[in-house]
């Protein structure tokens, strides 16, 4: 039997041959949209800090104050002794913004999906997930023991067909989609999905990781609204918003909540400050989408639906070469390759921030056109 390291070396070699090996690159945020990588200062178009709130003075001040007053750690899980009073403030603010009865904070978006989905459905139930739903939704679906089926991306005819063919054979049915898809930047037709959920007695759960704080706030028809505090909120953590009954149930049934140490008080405090900014300053929220649309206008691409704009290059080597050339010229735009995206859909993923200026966009566009 091959030794562990020999086996892993072979697996790494296969990944390298496919140009799919990942390597952690040391990257340091400097100021605004600027980062340091390899000793070089770059303008980043690869951060999900859509509003620049990770460096906002109110967010940083909230973290400092909580750190000095409450110490660095939470000490235990939320159900033991880690449920700091700051959680109530954050959950109340978030539920109010989302227009739901209540909210529950998890350690991360991954843990929120893992905890909620596995608590809500299991063997004998049905999950129908969009083909492009995030990996953590799919991991949770598989772990739940429910029957998992995938419907073609944003294809309501296919979703209806799967519901008609399979719904009556299962007890509960959960529909999973993102509000904004993380790699393509397009939006889900939530109204249509919600109507199908009602017609077929199914529950709708949305992942709003890339929608919160980026899109104009609208009423979400989903029964279960999940999202993160690590993107537009600029901090860390995940959440689920919904009815009081939903939150009460998750607090006693979601294993990723029960068996995880709580977030540090400084993180909770800074997240509450960030959500308050998102809820009260719509002029900041409008900027990432405006910047993305300016970029698509200059690039003659379809109008951006969110802060995310993919520039499709298909082949891994072409995407890696384009990313390298951009970095050599002062821009960080990471190449996204399979298995994160389907085969032959490698791309440069541009993520726009409220802190990007028109000058930043006007500098990168001619360079990108020259590379393409």
Q: Are residues 218 and 252 in the same domain?
A: yes
Could you tell me if residue 9 is inside a domain?
A: no
Model pLDDT, residue 22: 84
Q: How far apart are the first and last CA of the chain?
A: 47
Model pLDDT, residue 304: 98
Q: Are residues 246 and 287 in the same domain?
A: no
- Residue tagged active-site, from 56, 84, 98, 134: 134
Question: Is pLDDT of 1 > 70?
Answer: no
Could you tell me if residue 7 is inside a domain?
A: no
Average pLDDT, integer, range 146-157: 98
Domain final residue, candidates 250, 280, 310:
280
Could you tell me if residue 363 is inside a domain?
A: yes
Domain final residue, candidates 280, 308, 340:
280
- Residue tagged active-site, from 210, 287, 356, 360: 210
Q: Are residues 166 and 209 in the same domain?
A: yes
Is 178 part of the annotated catalytic residue set?
yes
Q: Are residues 275 and 299 in the same domain?
A: no
Q: Are residues 220 and 289 in the same domain?
A: no
Q: Are residues 235 and 331 in the same domain?
A: no
Q: Are residues 303 and 344 in the same domain?
A: yes
- Its pTM stands at 0.93
Q: Are residues 302 and 220 in the same domain?
A: no
Q: Are residues 29 and 141 in the same domain?
A: no
- Residue tagged active-site, from 47, 48, 108, 353: 48
Could you tell me if residue 143 is inside a domain?
A: yes
Domain final residue, candidates 248, 280, 312:
280
Is 220 part of the annotated catalytic residue set?
no
Chain segment 18-58, per-residue pLDDT in tens: 888 888 888 787 788 999 998 899 999 999 999 999 999 99
Is 182 part of the annotated catalytic residue set?
yes
Q: Are residues 258 and 318 in the same domain?
A: no
Could you tell me if residue 40 is inside a domain?
A: yes
- Residue tagged active-site, from 84, 98, 231, 360: 231
- Fill in the DSSP letter of residue 303: P
The CATH code of the domain that includes 351 is 3.90.1150.10
Could you tell me if residue 176 is inside a domain?
A: yes
Could you tell me if residue 10 is inside a domain?
A: no
Chain segment 91-110, per-residue pLDDT in tens: 999 999 999 999 999 999 99
pLDDT band at 286 (very low <50, low <70, confident <90, very high): very high
C-beta separation of 205 from 179 below 8 A: no
- Residue tagged active-site, from 49, 91, 130, 178: 178
pLDDT band at 218 (very low <50, low <70, confident <90, very high): confident
Is 134 part of the annotated catalytic residue set?
yes
- Residue tagged active-site, from 184, 207, 208, 223: 207
Model pLDDT, residue 20: 83
Q: In Å, how far from its chain's centre is CA 297?
A: 25
Q: Is 294 exposed, middle or buried (0-12, 13-18, 19+ CB in 10 A)?
A: middle
Could you tell me if residue 1 is inside a domain?
A: no
Q: What is the DSSP annotation of 318-350? A: HHHHHHHHHHHTTEE--EE-TTSS-TT-EEEEE
The CATH code of the domain that includes 196 is 3.40.640.10
Model pLDDT, residue 19: 83
Number of domains in the chain: 2
Is 170 part of the annotated catalytic residue set?
no
Chain segment 62-96, per-residue pLDDT in tens: 999 999 999 999 999 999 999 999 999 999 999 99
Chain segment 319-371, per-residue pLDDT in tens: 999 999 999 999 999 999 999 999 999 999 999 999 999 999 999 999 999 98
- Residue tagged active-site, from 47, 108, 182, 230: 182
Q: Are residues 242 and 266 in the same domain?
A: yes
Task: Write down the mean pLDDT value for the chain.
Answer: 95
Q: Are residues 300 and 206 in the same domain?
A: no
What is the Cα–Cα distance from 361 to 365, expressed in whole angstroms? 6
Range of the structural domain that residue 125 is part of:
55-280
Question: Is pLDDT of 175 > 70?
Answer: yes
């Amino acid at each position: 039997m091959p030794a562990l390291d020999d086996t892993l070396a072979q697996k790494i070699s296969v990944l390298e041959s496919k140009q799919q090996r990942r390597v952690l690159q040391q990257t340091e945020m400097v100021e605004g949209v600027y980062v340091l990588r390899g000793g070089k200062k770059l303008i980043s178009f690869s951060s999900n800090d859509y509003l620049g709130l990770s460096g906002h003075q109110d967010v940083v001040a909230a973290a400092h104050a909580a750190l000095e007053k409450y110490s660095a750690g939470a000490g235990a899980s939320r159900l033991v002794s880690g449920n700091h009073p700051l959680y109530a403030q954050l959950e109340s603010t978030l539920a109010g913004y989302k227009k739901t009865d209540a909210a529950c904070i998890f350690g991360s978006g991954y843990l929120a999906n893992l905890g909620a989905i596995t608590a809500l459905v299991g063997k004998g139930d049905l999950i129908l997930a969009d083909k492009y739903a995030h990996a953590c939704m799919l991991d949770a679906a598989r772990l739940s023991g429910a029957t998992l089926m995938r419907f073609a991306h944003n294809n309501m005819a296919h979703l209806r067909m799967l519901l008609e063919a399979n719904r009556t054979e299962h007890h509960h049915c959960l529909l999973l989609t993102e509000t904004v898809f993380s790699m393509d930047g397009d939006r889900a037709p939530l109204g249509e999905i919600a109507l199908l959920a009602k017609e077929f007695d199914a529950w709708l759960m949305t992942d709003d990781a890339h929608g919160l704080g980026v899109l104009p706030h609208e009423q979400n028809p989903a029964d279960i609204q999940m999202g993160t505090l690590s993107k537009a909120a600029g901090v860390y953590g995940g959440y689920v918003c919904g009815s009081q009954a939903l939150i009460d149930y998750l607090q006693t049934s979601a294993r990723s909540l029960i068996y995880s140490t709580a977030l540090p008080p400084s993180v909770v405090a800074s997240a509450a400050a960030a959500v308050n900014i998102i809820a009260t300053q719509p002029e900041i929220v409008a900027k990432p989408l405006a910047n993305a649309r300016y970029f698509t206008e200059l690039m003659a691409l379809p109008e951006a639906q969110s802060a995310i704009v993919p520039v499709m290059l298909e082949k891994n080597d072409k995407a890696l070469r384009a990313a390298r050339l951009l970095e050599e010229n002062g821009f960080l735009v990471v190449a996204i390759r399979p298995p994160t995206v389907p085969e032959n859909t490698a791309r440069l993923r541009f993520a726009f921030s409220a802190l990007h200026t028109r000058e930043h966009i006007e500098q990168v566009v001619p360079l990108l056109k020259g590379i393409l």
